[in-house]
Amino acid sequence: MKLYFHRSLILLSFLLLVVFSLLVAEAEVITLTEETFNDKVKEKDTAWFVRFCVPWCKHCKNLGSLWEDLGKEMEREDEIEVGQVDCGTSKPLCSKVDIHSYPTFKLFYNGEEVAKYQGTRDVESLRTFVLEEAEKAATNSQLEDEKEL
């Protein structure tokens, strides 16, 4: 009986580890909804690079794991988050942020849209864009804060 319990405990631990690993692997890209979008993109001193897609779009499907790969790459950056919005289930949100084609990639900083990405669709190009634009947005925000003082 002890041996059976021990084996069951080991199996259960292994399964929990696998489930936890899968959850952590998905955490690099945060799904945003109508309920969460505004609060998230308004986080102080945080850039949000957001992909807007719909499930039926062939161009969105052709991205494959690109957005998840970018999320993993950007995980090291403290003040940059990678998000995604399903415009099929969040139509009012997508209309509000002026989404008319898919996929659309936008960078938000302190709640404001600061840039729209229209370049090459590879991880390095996306990463370079978001780092450069987030730095510009942070500098502009800091200058505005200093003006207010």
Catalytic residue positions?
57, 60
CA distance to 41, 111, 114, per residue, from 148 (Å): 22, 18, 20
Contacts of residue 55, Cβ cutoff 8 Å, sequence gap at least 6: 86, 88
* H-helix segments, the chain: 2-26, 37-41, 58-62, 66-74, 91-96, 123-148
